[in-house]
Amino acid sequence: MRRRRFLGMAAAGAVGAAGVPALTGCGKGPGSADVTLRLVAADYGSPGAHNSSKVYWRKLADAFAAENPGIKVDVTVHSWNEIGKKLTDMVDAGDPPDLAQVDSYANWAAEGKLYKVSELLPIPAQAEFLTSLAEAGEVRRVQYGLPFVASTRVLFYNKDLFAKAGLNPKKPPRSWDELKSAARTLKQAGVKIPYGLPLGPEEAQGEALMWMLGNGGSYVDSVGNYTINSPENIETMEWLRDNLVTPGYTEPDPQRVNRQKLFDAFTAGEVAVLNGHPTLMQQADKKGISYGTGKLPGRGGPAEGTLGVADWMMAFREHGHREECGKFLSFVYEEKNHYDFVSQYGLLPVTTSASERMRADEEQKKLWPFLDQLSSAEFYPVGKVSWAGTTAGLKKTIGQAAMKGGDPRSVLTALQREADAAEKAGS
């Protein structure tokens, strides 16, 4: 089965003869009033901590206004639990913000509510985005979403628990068989959760996809058709059911277990192995956990790819501030400003210059394994208008496929039918 790399070359889009978008009809002409852009953004700070994204955006907005008299930016920051509904309500009421930073964009792009990236940024700024990310911002081959930050996934394992079980603490499992063998040994040594399998509604679609990638599967094929119930994916969920869940090497009911619960258990020394992103690294460091990382295990060896996740910036057409939006976005993605954000929150940059800076920054050395994988990572097909509904179904039910007594073929086929129906309705 050919597996589609969801990301590829950036689409440059229509540009002016001088190589920059034609920004006419919406600028601030002589004598016109000052413009205040409204930005709605997500909060990357820890709950209850003092590292809210509000601080970053306030400083950035003030610096931008100082350099661009006549343009102000009013930023509202919401938690990830709230921002989706808040933004949707604004759009549905006919009063979207000028700019939004959230985790999806395709529905609004398909409805004609967003500016094309080529209408906002000059070619040099467009070319700064990593080629492995730019295509994921496209809907029907036109780029509307600007990647904001990214992350990839690696295997984490607790070195102390490995040593306690007599396993080599310098050698993470590289294949499914090695993982199963390690899980059995860890269980016999009294480890509470040998493998953390979060197939609950928080991010079941991500955990499942990581396992599918290790068996040559994915959610879509090379041309974007859904392949949720492919033979490879069915085989993957059968293996999880029979080799990890049924023998008791995971929590008893993984379909009800969310990722953060297992992250917390890992940092408490109760989970030996699990897939994670840079946030888990920060949490484990704070708790003094001795951990190692490695590539995701695959059916016959290390998986060829890994899961990549990106969040998105977009500009709405409703209020007509195209030129001002473009200026602010260019400012946001300047190397210093972009790097300040990603380095603060342990995330991966989406521009070439900021990536090169992270690669040279010894203080960010722990992020290098994640950065190394970014060019080969597979991202969710967020440019498909049907993806929002499809991922909701995956979160809700795909975990059932791997449960003891579960029927992977039946579960995945039902999800395939729902995805195909949503795709047909969206087209």
Selection from 11, 328, 40 nearest residue 144 by Cα: 11
Total-model pTM: 0.84
Residue pair 146/312 in contact (Cβ under 8 Å)? The answer is: yes
273 and 161 inside one domain: yes
Mean pLDDT of the chain: 90
In the structure, what pLDDT confidence band is assigned to residue 13 with cuts at 50, 70 and 90?
very low
Same domain (yes/no): 255, 396: yes
Mean pLDDT of 134-138: 87
Task: Clarify whether residues 90 and 211 are in a common domain.
Answer: no
> Are 240 and 358 within one domain?
no
- Quick one: 98 and 216 in the same domain? no
Same domain, residue pair 262 and 317:
no
- Per-residue pLDDT tens digits for 154-198: 999 999 999 999 999 999 999 999 999 999 999 999 999 999 999
Residues 416 and 351 in one domain: no
pLDDT over 70, % of the chain:
91
Which domain, by its residues, includes 159? 154-305+386-426
User: Is 20 part of a structural domain of the chain?
Assistant: no
Same domain, 361 and 239: no
Assigned domain for 18 exists: no
Q: Tell me: do 266 and 395 sit in the same domain.
A: yes
Which amino acid, 262?
Answer: L
The total number of residues shown for the chain amounts to 427
pLDDT exceeds 60 at position 119: yes
pLDDT above 80 (res 323): yes
Coil vs helix vs strand at 392: helix
55 falls within a domain: yes
Distance CA 247, CA 119 (A): 55
Give a yes or no: residue 100 inside a domain.
Answer: yes
Among 14-28, 40-54, 404-418, top mean pLDDT goes to 404-418
- Residue 14 located in a structural domain: no
| pLDDT at residue 7 greater than cutoff 90 | no
Structural domains in the chain (count): 2
Together in a domain, 179 and 82: no
- In percent, the amount of the chain with pLDDT more than 90 equals 79
Does residue 160 sit in the same domain as residue 180?
yes
pLDDT for 148 beyond 70: yes
pLDDT digits (tens, 9 = 90+) for 283-312: 999 999 999 999 999 999 999 889 999 999
Question: What pLDDT, in 10s, does the model give residues 359-373?
Answer: 999 999 999 999 999
Q: Are 186 and 194 in contact, with CB atoms under 8 Å apart? A: yes
- Give the residue with greater pLDDT, 45 vs 313: 313
- The number of angstroms, rounded, from the C-alpha of 149 to the middle of its chain's C-alpha atoms is 8
Same domain, 165 and 285: yes
Count H helices, E strands: the chain?
17, 12
CATH code, domain carrying 108: 3.40.190.10
Assigned domain for 13 exists = no
Band the pLDDT of 332: cuts 50, 70, 90. very high
Distance CA 165, CA 181 (A): 12
Q: Is 195 helix (H, G, I), strand (E, B) or coil?
A: strand
Residue 427 pLDDT greater than 50, yes or no: yes
Per-residue pLDDT tens over the stretch 372-419: 998 889 999 998 989 989 999 999 999 999 999 999 999 999 999 999
